[in-house]
Amino acid sequence: MESVEEVTDPLSVIAIFAHPDDETWISGTLAKLADHGVKVFPVYATSGDAGSDRSGLEASGSELALIREQEAIAASQILGLQSPMFLRFPDGKLNQYRQEVVKQLNAILEQKKPLAILTFAEGGITGNNDHRAISTLTTESFSLNLVYFAISNTRANQLSNTASEFGIDYLVEEPVENGAISLRVDVSGYADKRAKAMAEYSTQFPIEMINAFGKYVETVSIEELIIVKNNSVINALLCYLESEKC
């Protein structure tokens, strides 16, 4: 059996999400890190068992959760990420399991010893309660090397405008002020991967939404990060986002 030291890789990043498909908000950045040699480990606190199935299969509960996990695995493969980790807490109820979630995340972080932790900015972009819970508990427990992903007012408007072209009335509930963004990551070379990864989530995204996202990622070539504590570890992460030689 391998020891923790043997499996630990300091050139890694942990991305903590509430549900499978949440990585769509930051998929270009994750793919870029992976391309530059960083091992990116997606962690999903729930498997989306309380969600709806838009694929026509009419799956629900544990059956839907299993499908969503398979969708996340397929999306991660497209993006070049490591195999996802599923904590399988009840969807929609993360606030009731905060201590247990933190305990499991601590175990993962102790094993992987990542360069940084990526997660939702305050508000969770969509305002979803589980998104908010993940943002809050990671902030309270793992703030040292934490980097938030967010969507600015400008980018939120661009997304809404693109969605409207496809007949979709979509509003980002919790954008942040433009000035709150610390880094705008150039993901112009990842539009195809981003679109293909999103399309794996057939239970979550109808075809018109997939098409709208495809156009959006072709025209908006950045993703946005908020860095609260700039230190040498975070600077190393930024190097991998800005250069191939770190």
Give residue-wise pLDDT tens across range 153-177.
999 999 999 999 999 999 999 999 9
**DSSP per-residue letters across 26-65:** GHHHHHHHHHTT-EEEEEEEE--TTS---SSS---HHHHH
pTM of the predicted model as reported, rounded to 2 decimal places:
0.93
**Which pairing describes strands 222-227 and 183-186: parallel, antiparallel, or unpaired?**
antiparallel
pLDDT tens column, 87-118: 999 999 999 999 999 999 999 999 999 989 99
Q: Which helix (H) or strand (E) holds 210?
A: helix 207-219
Under DSSP, is residue 152 helix (H, G, I), strand (E, B) or coil?
A: strand
Distance CA 128, CA 125 (A): 8
* Token pair listed for 20: 């499978």
pLDDT-derived band at 145 (thresholds 50, 70, 90) equals confident
- Chain centroid, CA 60 distance in Å: 23
